[in-house]
Chain A
Amino acid sequence: AQSVTQLDSQVPVFEEAPVELRCNYSSSVSVYLFWYVQYPNQGLQLLLKYLSGSTLVKGINGFEAEFNKSQTSFHLRKPSVHISDTAEYFCAVISSGSARQLTFGSGTQLTVLP
């Protein structure tokens, strides 16, 4: 079985400040890792994904994440946030060999303050 933990349910941050959204996972097999963003009353949009190769992955809107196998983490970062980054962010995992089912974390509400 696989699981995802997002430790921070809410993260307020001032505009142009850096931000890190934390994500830890557990799985007995190798995994694929994803970060999705959800704006109010909308579906999910893929920010970035780790499948293999370089552990530092860059996504859209200036976000990046680093896969750390030893710490089973996949934290999301952005060096300077904008008001428009205010949204819910979900970390998700698929275990290799699974039926392509995503397991989501509980989500982190990022609120960017002026």
Chain B
Amino acid sequence: GAVVSQHPSRVICKSGTSVKIECRSLDFQATTMFWYRQFPKQSLMLMATSNEGSKATYEQGVEKDKFLINHASLTLSTLTVTSAHPEDSSFYICSAPGQGLRETQYFGPGTRLLVL
């Protein structure tokens, strides 16, 4: 089946620094990728839709300048958390739809971000 990877799996950073998270589709191309945020013991909340070759579409309430998304190629999307603060600490998960119209999405293993 289709595989999506994320890097890093875990990151700890100081408040005020920026952190980049990569999401790759390993054996298929993805013109669209989704970024989710998950707080402990809660569901996944869609943050933004990453579109290859164009601007990302952000969900209401998500700061575009805070969470920079770049979809540079058909297999790579990046999420950069700029000037991170402790409240940005969370589990970030990306997903990519498979080919065709059958809407199955494949999820990355997630990135645990801890901002001190």
Q: Which residues of A are interface residues toward B (Cβ below 8 A)?
A: 32, 34, 36, 41-46, 49, 51, 90, 94, 99-107, 109
Contact = CB atoms under 8 A, between A and B. Distances in A.
A102 B49 contact: no
Nearest to B91: A41
Contacts of A51: 102-103
A110 to B, nearest CB: 13
B105 A43 contact: no
A43 B2 CA distance: 14
* Secondary structure type dominating chain B contacts: strand
Contacts of A99: 32, 49, 57
24 contacts: A32-B103, A34-B104, A41-B91, A41-B112, A43-B4, A43-B93, A43-B108, A46-B105, A46-B106, A51-B103, A90-B43, A90-B44, A99-B32, A100-B32, A100-B103, A100-B105, A101-B46, A101-B49, A102-B105, A103-B46, A104-B43, A104-B44, A105-B43, A106-B42
Given A43-B93, A43-B108, A101-B34, A94 B43 contact: no
Contacts of A105: 43
Kindly state the interface size class of chain B when it binds its partner. 20 to 34
Contact of A44 (B46, B103, B107, B112): B107
Contacts of B57: 99
Given A49-B104, A102-B34, A44 B43 contact: no
Interface string B69-113: 000000000000000000000010101010000111111111010
